[in-house]
Amino acid sequence: MTDPTAAEPDFAFDDEQLEFGRVVRQFLGRRSDQAEVRRLMATGTGHDPDVWKALALQLGVTGLAVPETFGGTGRGPLELVVVFEEFGRALACAPLLSTVGMAASLLTRLPADPAALRYLPGIVDGSVLGTVALGAGSEVDVPAAQAERSGSGWLLTGEATFVVDAHVADVVLLGAATAAGPTLFLAERGAAGLGATALDTLDPTRRLGRLRLRETPAAPVGEAGGARAHLAAVRDLAAVYLAAEQAGGAAFMLETVVEYAKHRVQFGRAIGSFQAVKHRCAEMLLLVESARSAAYHAGRAAADGSAELPALAALAKAYCSDAYVEVARASIQLLGGLGFTWEHPAHLHHRRALSSSALLGDPNQHRERLVRLLDGSHTEER
């Protein structure tokens, strides 16, 4: 990482990106309002396949960072940052992080591999859901399984947990140990010996699962021994998207609380006129805008293919995690008794904030990664 105080070009989204964000917000307002979120979080699959199809075919959300060769629009990670921020606001129940943020990101890195042509067009048109077993920590979980040759193919045995949307994924990508080192493999849903169970999660709006592989046939993807670098790169991208989602969720909670503070009257005054409330809201706004700046700039590093991406992804994931947790906690406090009820959306954001903070590595882990990247002692995957 270069001098952190060095000047960088100024950044703001262009008009087209802002307009796309508005379109996504309107769509989610229609198809994923709070009642719908609550309905879906109680279902087995946890999402609505029709809405997913519409997101893919009408809005092109699934193909934003997929090259045109594979049916996408090749716009890039910044447009996805816009989408994730909106999904975070709405707590939209959909396999966006798993299928688009992880599986599509990984396959897009391997354009020459047969798996890219085989699965990416399906991901783009909404017919294929995918996920990547990255592990729960900030360091990627490699290997998750043991790979054994069997005739011309491979059989995988092992277990991976905290896999996002494992219960609905049509294709699963994971690293497995081979003689050449950890290698990336892809297993299809329904393969022999492959079991996927949904975990009972703190956040019911995002599903996590456990994968069990017992001599499961799987195809190697990418170069032999190349899993670590690919998984680390996907971890970075997914961390940036998650950071954008966290910024969106925090922004929504702040807006909700500010509206409440303008109208809730106690002691003959709107509670928002009390400095104890005002100051807390101003502090939350600082967290929200700072989280946005972090997520946007990490997104820009991703879009530019910058060598700083690992450091900025760690920075953004750490900051946005803490910011969202703090904003959710402060929001519940300011909403008072109302904020502690099941009916109010605050607890759904609280749940999402707590679980997103832990997913893909908690803030402490990412800060440690950031410092290691800063002082050049980082010798992880790449």
Q: Is 286 in the site for another protein (CB under 8 A)?
A: yes
Binding span for another protein by CB under 8 A among 4-12, 122-130, 160-168, 219-227: 4-12
Q: Is 10 in the site for another protein (CB under 8 A)?
A: yes
Binding span for another protein by CB under 8 A among 6-14, 196-204, 218-226, 349-357: 6-14
Quick one: 210 or 372, whose CB is closer to another protein? 372
61 half-sphere exposure, CB direction, 13 A CA radius: 30
Cβ 157 to another protein shortest distance, Å: 35
Q: Is 379 in the site for another protein (CB under 8 A)?
A: no
Return d(Cα 23, Cα 100) in angstroms, integer: 18
Cβ 90 to another protein shortest distance, Å: 21
Residue with tokens 């946890």: 46
Pick from 23, 57, 117, 285 the residue near another protein by CB under 8 A.
Answer: 285
First to last CA, the chain: 15
Q: Is 278 in the site for another protein (CB under 8 A)?
A: yes
Pick from 102, 191, 277, 302 the residue near another protein by CB under 8 A.
Answer: 277
Return d(Cα 60, Cα 243) in angstroms, integer: 21
* Beta carbons within 8 Å of 263's beta carbon, 6+ residues apart: 270
Pick from 40, 318, 359, 360 the residue near another protein by CB under 8 A.
Answer: 318
Helix (H) or strand (E) holding 254: helix 227-263
Pick from 272, 299, 310, 339 the residue near another protein by CB under 8 A.
Answer: 272
Return d(Cα 226, Cα 240) in angstroms, integer: 22
Classify 142 in phi/psi space as left (phi over 0), alpha (psi -120 to 50) or beta. beta
Of 45, 46, 60, 129, nearest to 92 (Cα)? 46
Return d(Cα 156, Cα 145) in angstroms, integer: 6
Query: What are the residues binding another protein (CB under 8 A)?
Result: 1, 3-5, 7-12, 15, 258, 261-262, 269-270, 272-275, 277-279, 281-283, 285-286, 289-290, 292-294, 296-297, 312, 315, 318-319, 364, 367-368, 370-371, 374-375
